[in-house]
Structure 1
């Protein structure tokens, strides 16, 4: 990867012997590996047996989970937050594991629409929840730094599974809790 970054830097017309750039290909390769570390994680490692029995059947919401991802179309970041809710059916997920699931998928070359669905489907699969709702809001550097250059645009995506899709009251409760956050 280091050699490829060196080629890119030279292709834009820069001199790799310039003091500020001498170690940049190596630093860029390390940074890119970190930004895409989700490819090297498994769901089992992320969950780490943090699934616990529970009698709760009420909505569990973890909101404002910050996320950092890379647009698969331009390799530019998108930055935002996820709101994840589920209705347990005998098992609850350790609180930090919800954020770790978001991170595992966000730290891949990604589109927001797919990320939203991956998080929802994974929480449903892991917990056996009767319903899962996920909303992600993000600012995309590919839209802010290039193209239309719209600085204040925010993309919002949602995925509703099970009772969040089938039951209007459940969906409304989730969306009202998420929209009621201090912004």
Structure 2
């Protein structure tokens, strides 16, 4: 998992276009699909799309390991599983830039320290708000927690529906994709994997 990129950095030659250039790109797409960019309903669309993209893909401007922030060592000896399940998220497929909608289940086995529960959900959001494949996102969430907390193990399961399957191509609405990543004790001990799955389904 060492090869996983937490926060891709743009080089000078790949520097971000301006807001005006982004809006021009939206106008180009609108013309390409056959609509009239001058009609009333589309007058402000380029501006709105650029603004929406800035929000939808805000994960590129955030660092997941930094977001995990402060850890706590006063845990009264607690060393069992910490599970946050059913974390809702949305993302966008990097192949077609259409939505991925789902939920994440994230667990870790503390090794002397814990992190605020909301921080785990924040990590899911950060990676979700980037162009993704579900497989990569699953590994990225696990890697960020593993690197920051150094727990005895991390388990991540993501369940999601991909609009690139539902809205285009094969057009199979309602199908769900499940991906998992395990590190440390969760990876080496099948019993811990079973406990993780049981707690999610239970």
Q: TM-score range by the shorter chain?
A: over 0.9
Q: 1:155 aligns with which of 168, 177, 188?
A: 177
Counterpart of 2:154 in structure 1 is: 132
Q: Aligned with 1:122: secondary structure? A: helix
Give the TM-score of the pair, scaled to structure 2.
0.86
Structure 2 matches for 1:1-183, cutoff 5 A?
Answer: 1-43=22-64, 45-49=66-70, 51-53=71-73, 54=75, 55-180=77-202
Q: Following TM superposition, by how much is the alpha carbon of 1:157 offset from its aligned partner in structure 2, in angstroms?
A: 0.2
Q: Following TM superposition, by how much is the alpha carbon of 1:44 offset from its aligned partner in structure 2, in angstroms?
A: 5.2
CA RMSD across the alignment: 1.0
Q: Distance in 2 between matches of 1:92 and 1:32?
A: 33
Q: Is the 8 A contact 2:65 2:148 kept in 1?
A: no
Q: Aligned with 1:137: secondary structure? A: strand
- The count of corresponding residues between Structure 1 and Structure 2 is 179
Q: Distance in 2 between matches of 1:76 and 1:92?
A: 35
Q: Aligned with 2:25: secondary structure? A: helix
Q: Aligned with 2:136: secondary structure? A: helix
Q: Following TM superposition, by how much is the alpha carbon of 1:17 offset from its aligned partner in structure 2, in angstroms?
A: 1.3
Displaced runs of 4+ in structure 1, greater than 4 A? none
Q: Distance in 2 between matches of 1:103 and 1:112?
A: 13
Q: Distance in 1 between matches of 2:53 and 2:163?
A: 16
Give the TM-score of the pair, scaled to structure 1.
0.95
Distance 1:45 1:166, change over 3 A: closer
Distance 1:111 1:150, change over 3 A: same
In the alignment, structure 1 segments of 5+ residues that lack a partner are none
Q: Aligned with 1:148: secondary structure? A: coil
Q: Is the 8 A contact 2:92 2:100 kept in 1?
A: yes
